[in-house]
Chain A
Amino acid sequence: MTIEVKNIVKKFGAFAALDNVDLKVGKGELLALLGPSGSGKTTLLRIIAGLDWPDAGEVRIDGEDALGHGASERHVGFVFQHYALFRHMTVFENVAFGLRVQPRAIRKDEATIRARVKELLDLVQLDWLANRYPSQLSGGQRQRIALARALAIEPRILLLDEPFGALDAKVRKELRQWLRSLHNEIHVTSIFVTHDQEEALEVANRVVVMDKGRIEQIGSPGDVYDNPATAFVHGFIGESIVLPVEVTGGSVRLGGRPLNIAADGAASGASKLFVRRHDMQIGPAGTGSLEGAVRHVRSFGPIQRAEVTLSGGEGKTVIEIDAPRDRELQAGEIIGLQPRRYRIFAAQE
Chain B
Amino acid sequence: MHGMGGLAHFLRSNRMASFGIVLLGLILIAVLVGPIFYEVSPTRLNILKRLAPPGPDFWLGTDSLGRDVLARLLHGGRVTLVVGCSVVALAFAVGVTIGMISGFAGGWLDWFIMRLADAMLSFPSLVLAIALAAAFGPSLENAMLAVAITLMPQFARVARGQAVSVSVKPYVEAAVTLGLPRGRILLRYVFANGVGPLLVQATLALGAAILQTASLGFLGLGAQPPAAEWGADVSINLDFVRSAPWVALAPGAGILLTVMAFNLIGDGLAEWMDPRRRAVI
Q: Please say whether chains A and B are actual partners in one complex.
A: no
Give the interface of B toward A (CB within 8 A). Answer: none
